[in-house]
Structure 1
């Protein structure tokens, strides 16, 4: 039920996001049924603008709230949390997997047999599947079998700088 509401909210927000120059990264509905929390992660649609700041997120929250209120997905009240995607950004669309090629990712599939969790370098899309380079070789995961895929932050460069 929460997943269905999240999908509906995501569709409504994506329809409005272009007018605001925003990309809706993902939507989650969590918490109690009577008073759920809606988590919306946004970023700039234009990569050239860089990463979205806290002030930018605050400025975008109004239209996000209005779009959800117009949809009216809950019988009672809900809590809205709007944020940037963070360092462990979730990837869900073809353009995400193409845009973040070269990044280290953690991917979980919906497969019912065999291995379900992979970590490796995202190579992009190939023939409708996500291509990952892992320690065991290349893995292709059909997009419709991806349960969750997130970027794995690399803190090694920061550690090397701070140890000098």
Structure 2
């Protein structure tokens, strides 16, 4: 298989077929490097564990080999979740993270941290505390997606 849009489309079609049996798992992105290194990033509504990644990886690997996409066998395949430090990309990722603290970077590079309380097709709503002690108030802010450069879930300890 050559390194072009067709190979990426074939990989995405294979993933779609495999995920059709797993309604809670969804594709976040696929990257194919010129050295035939295929990286597939998946997520799931309830989280994606390593066992599911391994199962999907094995099924993909088997199909790629059986169909002879890379006749010389010169390819590598990685299937994983994007990782907690990766920005959210899809509406479905935003929805599954409602209730968690996020850091939003706006298109003007200003950052705002808050609790993600709602998501719809237009944007997100976050809550955060402004002020201190007796003057502290909870602020609710609606943010349209076109004002967001990136959103990253913050790890709470």
Task: Tell me the TM-score range normalised by the shorter chain.
Answer: 0.5 to 0.7
Q: Aligned-pair distance for 1:80? A: 2.0
What CA RMSD, in Å, does the superposition of the two structures yield over aligned residues? 4.0
Query: Counterpart in 2 of 1:161?
Result: none
TM-score by length of 2: 0.60
Query: Counterpart in 1 of 2:92?
Result: 95
Matches within 5 A, 1:1-164: 8=9, 11-12=12-13, 13-14=15-16, 16-21=18-23, 23-29=25-31, 33-35=33-35, 37-45=37-45, 47=46, 51-65=47-61, 77-88=74-85, 90-109=87-106, 111=107, 114-126=108-120, 128-135=122-129, 137=139, 138-142=141-145, 144=146, 146-155=148-157
Larger Rg: 2
Distance 2:147 2:87 in 1: 15
Change (3 A) 1:123 1:11: farther
Q: Aligned-pair distance for 1:9? A: 7.2
State the number of aligned residues.
Answer: 140
User: Structure 2 unaligned runs (5+)?
Assistant: 131-138
